[in-house]
Each structure stands twice: as C-alpha cells, then as structure tokens.
C-alpha cells in the first residue's frame, strides 16, 4: 500500500511505515496535479501538513484513498466531516508538537521582554555607530518571573505552555470553555515531579490579569481577540498568537500597538498565509516567525512515528 507524504514526513516516520510494509512517497505534488497523481499511483494514505489542502473535490475524485493524515494539530485545511461521511479515516497528531509550540511561545516572550526582536534588527545597522544609544533604548526590559501569564485555550498546547511558565516562576491564569480544572505535572531532569492544579476562570478575568497573553485556540468564526478584548487588557501587556491565523484581529492589534495599549506582540500565524500583510512584517513592535511552532526535529519525529502507528492500526 502506498503512502504519499505530500508535505514531507520525518525519517522516523518513513522507517516505521516501511517496516510495516508500506511504500512511502515523499514527492511534493502540486495542488492542481494532486488528484491525478493519487489516482495514477493508487495512493491509499495521503499525509499533509499545512501547505496541502484536501477538499471535497479531491475526496470525491480519489476512490483509492482510505486515510487522510495531518501532521500536526489543526485540520482546517481538510474537509474533515465530509471525508468521514465518505468513509475515510481522518487522523492527526494533537500531542506530538505541544512542547515545541510552548517553547516557541517562550522564545518570543523572552525576546520581546528584552527587546531582542528589535535589537537583532538594529545592532547590525547601528551597533558600531550608536552602541550607547541602543543600550539606552533597550534598557527597560522586563523579567517574566513573578508575572502573570494568561492562557486562552487550555488544551494540550495551552497546558504545555503553562508548564513552561510555571517552571519560569510565573503565575498562570487560564480560560477554556470546555474545562474547569487541570492538573499539570512538571517533570524534571532527575525524575522529580511537581504537580499544580489550575482552575480556569472567565475570559474577561484572564484578559484583565495577564501581563502576558498567549492564545491556543482552534480556528473559528470571528475573532477571539478583537478591539474590545485588547482594550480590556492591562496597559503595556504583551500578546503572542501561535495558534491559528484569524483568531486575532490584526488591524486592531496594530492600532493597539501604535497607541501603546499593547506594548509588543508576537505572531507565528497570520490571517493571510503565506503572504502576511506588509504592515505586520514591517512593524517594529512585532516579533514574527513563519508558522514554525511545530518545526523542531523532536516534534517532527514524534509526528512521523505517531502517524505511522495510527496508519498501521487502521490498515493492518
């Protein structure tokens, strides 16, 4: 049976699939040629990340398909319910990338709190001529320890991010409409563990209390953070969106940054991917990454292995 990993798969995933007798194809087929390729090669499993879309036309036109797999969490690039109605299995890997996303959030938070996003731009341009001026410009950094991290969406990734925050000495407040309480276990290098019980509170209270805010919610109709929510946050708060493009009103965010209501922000996802608005790309108050939350070797190994295990359990 043939597996097409159209957006790639880790070597660990390839090895696991081949060990179970699957033929793994890692050719990247253009979206407009995908239906013909699947049919000509009798592809049984189609694996994608975020680049390839799997819509109704492809599902209807490719009778050989039995499984559609998403390497990662969000499946808004797949017509999931329609595929399942047609008898296909649709799988993803919700737990595999949680810690990688959490670490990226904190990469942004530490960078923003000490102006690294700006310093890394300006030092190559002015470091030899304006060293003292830049030192003064970046002299008012903020420590994360002792501050409050607000988490909107307290599923696997939200909880993984909260664990990093707790390890950094932060207070965590969280909102999730489907969860009242979570027990978080922090594991340390020597085998010791520490447990924390986090009781969720209202979204409004999270926004009011958070010095730093991180979003971990699925794609949905309407903004989770718009002008009203930004206005209800603490003056000078810092925001990170490493969830999905479209959950933050980017125009409202830019206005809040310009007014100083939000001091700085980070975006790993955008309303218009893969061509974000130029106003975001050039904004000096933003720290930006190109949707790389799960882009670590460790996460990709876990994703590949988990996909292989699910495929084998369905087809073998």
Asked about 291 being catalytic, the answer comes back as yes
Is residue 67 within a helix (H) or strand (E), and if so which, with residue range? strand 67-70
DSSP 119-168: HHHHHHHHTTT-HHHHHHHT------TT-EEEEE--SHHHHHHHHHHHHT
Distance between CA 183 and CA 192 in Å, rounded?
16
Count of beta carbons in the 10 Å neighbourhood of residue 81: 9
Go through the chain and tell me how many residues it has: 316
Among this protein's residues, is 273 annotated catalytic?
yes
CA 310 to chain centre: 22
Catalytic residue, candidates 103, 273, 277, 298? 273
Q: Which of 156, 291, 302, 306 is catalytic?
A: 291
Residues 6+ apart with CB under 8 A from 126: 133, 134
Q: Catalytic pick from 244, 250, 264, 306?
A: 244
Helix (H) or strand (E) holding 49: none
* Burial of 187: CB neighbours in 10 Å, binned 0-12, 13-18, 19+: exposed
The catalytic residues are 244, 273, 291
């Amino acid at each position: 049976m043939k597996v097409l990993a159209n957006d790639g798969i880790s070597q660990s995933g390839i090895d696991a699939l081949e060990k179970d007798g699957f033929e793994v194809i890692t050719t990247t087929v253009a979206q407009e040629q995908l239906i013909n390729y699947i049919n000509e090669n009798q592809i049984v499993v189609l694996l994608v990340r975020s680049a390839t879309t799997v819509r109704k036309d492809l599902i209807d036109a490719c009778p050989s398909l039995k499984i559609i797999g998403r390497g990662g969490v969000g499946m808004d690039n797949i017509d999931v319910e329609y595929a399942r109605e047609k008898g296909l299995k649709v799988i993803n890997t919700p737990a595999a990338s949680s810690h990688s996303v959490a670490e990226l959030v904190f990469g942004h938070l530490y960078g923003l709190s000490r102006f690294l996003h700006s310093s890394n731009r300006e030092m190559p341009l002015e470091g030899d001529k304006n060293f003292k001026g830049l030192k003064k410009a970046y002299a008012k950094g903020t420590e994360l320890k002792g501050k409050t991290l607000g988490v909107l969406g307290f599923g696997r990734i939200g909880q993984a991010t909260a664990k990093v925050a707790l390890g950094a000495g932060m207070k965590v407040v969280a909102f999730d409409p489907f969860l009242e309480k979570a027990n978080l276990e922090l594991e340390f290098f020597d085998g010791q563990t520490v447990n924390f019980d986090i009781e969720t509170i209202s979204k409004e209270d999270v926004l009011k209390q958070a010095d730093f805010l991180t979003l971990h919610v699925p794609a949905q109709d309407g903004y989770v953070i718009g002008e009203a929510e930004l206005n209800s946050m603490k003056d000078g708060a810092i925001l990170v969106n490493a969830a999905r493009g479209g959950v933050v009103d980017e125009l409202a965010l830019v206005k809040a940054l310009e007014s100083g209501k939000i001091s700085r922000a980070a975006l790993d996802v955008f309303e218009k991917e893969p061509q974000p608005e130029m106003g975001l790309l050039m904004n000096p108050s933003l720290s930006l990454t190109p949707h790389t939350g799960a882009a670590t070797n460790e996460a990709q190994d876990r994703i590949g292995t988990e996909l292989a295990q699910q495929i084998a359990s369905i087809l073998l």
